[in-house]
Structure 1
Amino acid sequence: DRLMIRGGSAGGYTTLAALTFRDVFKVGASYYGVSDLEGLATETHKFESRYLDSVVGPYPERIDLYTERSPIHHTELLSCPIILLQGLEDKVVLPNQAEVMVDALRNKGLPVAYLPFEGEQHGFRKAENIKRALEAELYFYSRILGFDLVEPVEPVDIENL
């Protein structure tokens, strides 16, 4: 009843995919995760732009795989709360990847929290933001799973709770 999944970047994609395509986890945290593989293929910076060809398939020839494996195209399958954390200056996984998932969760009435971080890119660098992200994640879990925190942390706005 308390199984969680979390990850950043490709691990964020794994988190979103596991929460979308499997019914195993109770709650998840996605740090700058990919929700739309086609979006990643077309919107990321040039260095990363062909990365998915070897992982998913050549784009656009295999657009079917990109759609089939993208959590954003299967949000009807989502059934658990998610906290999404995103750097607003991220050029690898653009902030809209998190924002569309937040909207989908909000529209489904599932508990969701979104923490955008000004000045952060793909991976958080500032100590205060790393601390805030980890504390926000812990707070989210405590509210969803119903446990008390030993020490208080700054609350997170959780919609649909």
Structure 2
Amino acid sequence: MRSFDLSPLYRNTVGFDRLFSLLDTVGTVDSTPTYPPYNIERTGENAYRITLAVAGFTNEDLSIEVKENTLTLHGEKKATAENESTQLLYRGIAARTFERRFQLADHVEVKGAILENGLLHVDLVRNIPEAKKPRIIPINTAPAEQPSAIEGAKVDEAQQAA
């Protein structure tokens, strides 16, 4: 038994629920699907690409959905009359239904998707708003001839005491 009960910590923290949920799942058995295989690559400073191997799938068989920072890729092979009339002796190319989910970081948007040569490329870009980018704040020096607000308050207190 390597499970820890983190529920008492939930009521003492705000905004860390997802962190605790991730900690809860650390010791569990990995049931992540392995089909279809995929790559994640960085194509630029703020650009990324997810590539899935979807041999045998067409544009009509695939769907892409983005909802609340979750990218969902779904594939379902449609049955056709041509497929039903042929008799397969060996099936080595998997054409089973799949669903892959990717958690996107904040400010990551799906730019587009291309299906070529049995590979589905999904391009992502990270657009950080200007308000979130780091800024340099200049430090100004107070002029020597004017007393600062703190010094002015001390002079006022001394005058009131006299």
TM norm. shorter chain > 0.5: no
Q: TM-score, normalised by structure 2?
A: 0.21
Q: TM-score, normalised by structure 1?
A: 0.21
Pick the structure with more strand per residue: 2
Higher RCO (CA 8 Å, separation ≥ 6 residues): 1
The structure with the larger Rg is: 2
